[in-house]
Amino acid sequence: MSLPLTRKDLMIVNMGPQHPSMHGVLRLIVTLDGEDVIDCEPILGYLNRGMEKIAENRTIIQYLPYVTRWDYLATMFTEAITVNAPEFLENIQIPQRASYIRVIMLELSRIASHLLWLGPFMADLGAQTPFFYIFRERELIYVLFEAATGMRMMHNYFRIGGVAADLPYGWIDKCLDFCDYFLRGVVEYQQLITQNPIFLERVEGVGFISGEEAVNWGLSGPMLRASGLQWDLRKVDPYESYNQFDWKVQWQKEGDSLARYLVRIGEMRESIKIIQQAVEKIPGGPYENLEVQRFKKEKNSEWNDFEYKFLGKKPSPNFELSRQELYVRVEAPKGELGIYLVGDDSLFPWRWKIRPPG
Amino acid sequence: MKTMQQGWLSNWLVKHEVVHRSLIFDHRGIETLQIKAGDWDSIAIILYVYGYNYIRSQCAYDVAPGGSLASVYHLTRIQYGIDNPEEVCIKVFSQKDNPRIPSVFWIWRSADFQERESYDMVGISYDNHPRLKRILMPGSWIGWPLRKDYITPNFYEIQDAH
């Protein structure tokens, strides 16, 4: 039985929320003409957990375990920004050692996230072995994180004023071993992938985004840097002692997929450089600024006033946010992660808006 | 000099007799202005032509439970290799019963999803937005979740707590 060929109708295909190979939940309604994609409508919201609404009812310390779940591939960045926002609000200084530890953790997290980008990227192109290699490297990073923070992925490590616990004895040597091993690993990826003619043919010239379009669409991070703009938040507004290390912003001019690939591989190399420098120069000293754990000193009113704070028992230390608003940002591996925090004179923020990267 | 530079946008607007209110600078020294919804169209184009080519983030919140709604835009100028970029923060207020603010999608494309999220969560509808649908909640949801007076349906523990 032969069916009439109707080549004029466009076919609408639903690529449902679940995907194999770690793409996350994203529903795409794709309009196809033969094999060319004409129109694509993404439907989001499958992973909406109400994080912003929850934040309005939690103190910062209570909220920290939630934030690692925003971006579970690069967890330290979410924690860094959750802790940076109140620190900027109240002008809290953190000790140098804490800043260096944070930088090391953030750069390790950046490497982990770029590795997990590389795996599904190659799997989409058809090469399925790098997917296993990256998990081997990521496993080493997990082990380092577990030694320092206690959890492999969802570490609750950063605190307002520093980090929760100091690095254990011998962690720095293990970290340097990892850096040496990983530099050799990156060379292996270069040999396997970058010079591969099949890879180049599929990736060069594909998906071109010009610089102006990238800025207009609000891209940030490696996608912006691959289109010719040297915009890296670690250099543009330096935070967390990044200006004490010697490293370069990775960027490319072309704006196609190959450029984005090269930017991310280059960023992994720069992260290793930063980690090696930070580990050499790490100072001693305290790792947490414990002064921040006090209540803001307020004059207590008269005993028969409406506002009298009757302290029945000693309350646990809490951090009060003043009535100001502020927008802080970090350079997460996917782009610019920002928090717009509107404080109330209370423990809970009035509005906690997360500006997602990418 | 930093103090002279901040506040320049406010002075410029006063010079051109645009009614606006300059709020105090936010904590990092970024100039914050409040603009009326009727003027927002033209001022957005003015800012784009001046050079603010990047909407950093766009969010919406309600100023007081039962009060007015605010839509906040952070704009930056991205250029090749500069330090300390210029930034400005614009707030557009609207009343609660029929909140409508002109959309800036046609000027800055990144406002697409961000305005949809503001519509979904707080209820501000943006005129001239090409596809203003709910983005995070399912399409048939009733209510604006991030408002302070929102009651979560079927969530009895929270309702009892209030």
How many residues are recorded in chain B? 162
Average pLDDT, chain B: 76
3-class DSSP state of A222 = helix
Query: What percent of chain B has a predicted confidence (pLDDT) above 90?
Result: 0
Segment among A78-92, B1-15, B130-144 with least mean pLDDT = B1-15
HSE-CB for A202 with a 13 A CA cutoff: 14
Instruction: Supply the CATH classification number for the domain B8-158.
Output: 3.30.460.80
Q: Region B58-80: what's the mean pLDDT? A: 81
Chain B contact set for A216 (CB, 8 A):
53-54, 108-110
State the pLDDT confidence band at A143, using cuts at 50, 70 and 90.
very high
Q: Which helix or strand (DSSP H or E) is residue A282 part of?
A: none
Q: With CB atoms and an 8 Å threshold, state whether B146 touches A236.
A: no
Q: How much is the pLDDT for A109?
A: 92
Among all residues of chain B, which has the CA nearest to that of A232?
Answer: B81
Segment among A178-187, A208-217, A235-244 with least mean pLDDT = A235-244
On the question of pLDDT at A241 being above 70, the answer is: yes
Q: Region A307-323: what's the mean pLDDT? A: 60
Closest CB from B80, B84, B137 relative to A230: B80
Q: With CB atoms and an 8 Å threshold, state whether A215 touches B78.
A: yes
Q: With CB atoms and an 8 Å threshold, state whether A230 touches B138.
A: no
On the question of pLDDT at B161 being above 80, the answer is: no
Long-range Cβ contacts of B18-26 (<8 Å, 24+ apart): B18/B43, B23/B91, B26/A324, B26/A325, B26/A326, B26/A327, B26/B89
Among all residues of chain B, which has the CA nearest to that of A228?
Answer: B80
Interface of A with B (CB under 8 A): 44-45, 48, 50, 52-53, 88-89, 212-213, 215-219, 224, 229-231, 235-237, 324-327, 329, 336, 338, 340, 342, 350-351, 353, 355
Chain A contact set for B49 (CB, 8 A):
none
Q: Region A17-37: what's the mean pLDDT? A: 80
Q: Region A240-244: what's the mean pLDDT? A: 81
Closest CB from A45, A230, A325 relative to B136: A45
| Cβ(A112)–Cβ(A182) below 8 Å | no
Nearest CA distance, B104 vs chain A (angstrom): 11
Q: How much is the pLDDT for B27?
A: 58
On the question of pLDDT at B152 being above 60, the answer is: yes
Chain B contact set for A215 (CB, 8 A):
53-54, 78
Residue B115: how many other CB atoms lie within 10 Å? 25
Q: Write down all domains in chain A, each with its CATH number in brackets.
A: 11-43 (no CATH), 95-146+168-281 (1.10.645.10)
Per-domain residue ranges of chain B: 8-158
State the pLDDT confidence band at A291, using cuts at 50, 70 and 90.
low
Q: With CB atoms and an 8 Å threshold, state whether A236 touches B136.
A: no
- B66 burial type by CB count under 10 A (0-12 exposed, 13-18 middle, 19+ buried): exposed
State the pLDDT confidence band at B3, using cuts at 50, 70 and 90.
very low
On the question of pLDDT at A309 being above 50, the answer is: yes
On the question of pLDDT at B6 being above 50, the answer is: no
Report the C-alpha gap between B126 and B107 in whole angstroms.
14
Nearest CA distance, B121 vs chain A (angstrom): 10
Q: Region A7-35: what's the mean pLDDT? A: 80
CA nearest neighbour of A114 among A77, A65, A155, A69: A77
Report the C-alpha gap between A65 and A79 in whole angstroms.
9
